[in-house]
Amino acid sequence: MTKINGADAMLQVLYDWHIDHIFGFPGGSFDSGMNAIHNFKGKIKYIEVRHEEAAALAASAEYKFTGKLGVCFGSAGPGAVHLMNGLYDAKYDKTPMVAIVANVPTSRQDVDFFQAFDEKPWFDPVAVWDHQIKRADQIPSMMDEAIRQAYAKKGPAVLILPKDFGWDKINDNFRVNYNAHAASPNYAAPKKESVDAAVKLLKEAKNPVVYFGIGVKGAGKELKEFAEKFKTPLMSSVLAKGIVEDKFPAYMGSIGRVAPKPSDDIQTHADLVVWVGNNSPFSLFFFNPKAKVIQIDVDSEKLGKRHAVDVPILADGKKTLQAIIDAGEERSESPLYKAAMADRENWDSWEASFVDSDQTPVRPEPIFDVINKEADDNAVFAVDVGNINIDFQRLMNLHGDQRWATSGLYATMGFGAPASLAAATVYPDREVWNLAGDGAFAMMNQELLTQARYHMHVLNVVFTNETLGFIQAEQEDESHQPLSGVIIPDNDWSKVAEGMNVKGVVVRNKKEFEDAVKEFKNMDGPMLIDVKLTHAMPYSTELNTLDDPAFVKKYQAEALKPFSYFAKKYGVEDAAPASSASQDAEVDSEPDTTSGASQH
């Protein structure tokens, strides 16, 4: 029988699973893996990152963009440890990925050897599946199992490969059943009695709303039809942005600290919440605890987990929304619906008033106005963590086939640059934007070298405001403490980019940014734009005290009206103050691409 190196057999399994690239950084303990990568160079592309953390974050981001798992690797010791941050991003956001971790030779384990430690216990808490190869002939079957477990359990799988096994010759007789895995899922339709119960609650409610998550990705049509027929404002988790286009009038945006004002205004006034495909851990801070809930999910463990539920529906989200639409009677506009629509119109007008602002340093609105106009209809956005999440949620109008990803529940800074590597690799013919604050970009900026090396068409937009803005706002608005550890020095990121073989530009106003974007669109390869941004914080939906003149002045919010104005105008009964729940980001935590379960 034909023999093959263990490491080559491992890559053959990846190839048979239709995996055509891998992210990682070499090391002596992974020499057999590097030899296999060389042997497969015509089949599997190797993206050599500058740090193993970037490899793991890129692999995690890949599934968020595509629904297909990514693969990364690291050497024994420090290489293994460096992978951990990306693995936790995948764990928290329920993202399938596989990490191949090298280990020292079996004869050198457990004897205090160079770069050696007991790796399996280290990865047990983060991995959905974590095993070390015990015999070389296990390698292909264990690689196949790692992929299956990552998909099935929706998280990171870790395969630990001792150095000596990668070189050992084994029988080349393992074959992958990829086609069986590729079968299309078909989740259950709702039962008639559940649909009838939901319709009854919708008919009786005074102020119903819809709260949807990434689990109903692909159900934008049904969500809009539902809102139009039953006159329900739509609110989403942060990661569900884009399922319904931002310009749809009834979509109020996400909820929480990063959200627009209207969604936070209306959340506590609903008496019925249609809760679909959403497992946000922050949901207990939102909505009236006495509100009735219709919850739709394919995972029974999620039903009632975040809120008392009156009608639990264990079924596909998209199918259930359509069934309720077909069975229900059209509603007239509720007081809350009218107030929400007027509140959003007021908010949109206020934001639009700044798009041509000549204030210096520049505000974010002019910058995002250019992005909204110039980004391709199929552009891909890698969004880092910090104030950029706030600006992206509020100011970015996603449309067409645009896609985006961020680090959700784990919220690790430095996500953007590695995610851009994943986006540029899987979508080589699409425009990729990496949007990051200066604090987050400083953590992973070395991946500009990777962008340059592989000539990736990535536009890195660094919003330089010389502070860790998200943390500054917490210290000012929540703990009311003196600013500590948040101020960072200004830096010319264009010079850093030029030193890494990336075109760099500094801009200070809308016209300069627009010119720089047009230059990028007419060139090949990566570019960096250092935007010198205002030091002012984004509007605080946590405080949202428009009856306070100091608050109004701070945020230039003279044109904004408090929700009490709209509540009184349209007769919203028992109007409560807008929520001041303090949350870093409101996210989903259980993925499923086609069903009602919360997913990336």
Residues noted as catalytic: 52, 114-115, 257, 385, 470-471, 474
- The residues pairing with 311 across neighbouring beta strands, listed in sequence order, are 294
pLDDT band per the 50, 70, 90 thresholds, residue 579: very low
**Helical segments of 155-313, H only:** 163-167, 178-181, 192-204, 220-230, 261-266
Q: CATH 3.40.50.1220 spans which residues of the chain?
A: 192-344
Identify the DSSP state of 187: P
Task: Look up tokens 């009854």; give the residue.
Answer: 200
DSSP 109: T
Cβ-Cβ contacts under 8 Å for 230 (sequence gap 6 or more): 202, 208, 328, 330, 331
Using the structure block, give the residue that is written with the tokens 């073989």. Answer: 501
Res. 592 pLDDT band, cuts 50 70 90: very low
Using alpha carbons, select from 495, 494, 486 the residue that is nearest to residue 465. 486
Cα separation of 460 and 434, whole Å? 5
Q: Which tokens in the block code for residue 465?
A: 């405001």
Judged against a pLDDT cut of 50, whether residue 268 lies above it is answered with yes
| Contact yes or no for 531/462 (Cβ under 8 A) | yes
Q: In the prediction, which pLDDT does 46 show?
A: 98
> Please, what is the angle between helix 52-66 and helix 416-426, to 10°?
60
The CATH number of 3-180, from 3.40.50.2300, 3.10.350.10, 3.40.50.970, 3.90.550.10, is 3.40.50.970
Mean pLDDT of the chain: 91
Higher pLDDT, 204 or 468: 204
Architecture of domain 192-344 in this structure: 3-Layer(aba) Sandwich (3.40)
Q: What is the CA radius of gyration of the chain?
A: 25
Considering the domain 355-532 in this protein, what is its CATH number?
3.40.50.970
pLDDT band of residue 119 (cuts 50, 70, 90) is confident
The predicted pLDDT at position 584 comes to 40
Cα(436)–Cα(413) distance, integer angstroms: 9
Q: What is the pLDDT of residues 343-357, one digit of tens each?
A: 999 999 999 999 999
3-class DSSP string for 307-349: CCCCEEEECCHHHHHHHHHHHCCCCCCCHHHHHHHHHHHHHHH
Domain with CATH 3.40.50.970 in the chain: 3-180, 355-532
Among residues of the chain, what percentage have pLDDT more than 90? 80
pLDDT tens, residue by residue, 143-195: 999 999 999 999 999 999 998 898 999 999 999 998 888 767 788 899 999 99
- Concatenating the DSSP letter of every residue in 38-73 gives HHTTTTSEEEE-SSHHHHHHHHHHHHHHHSS-EEEE
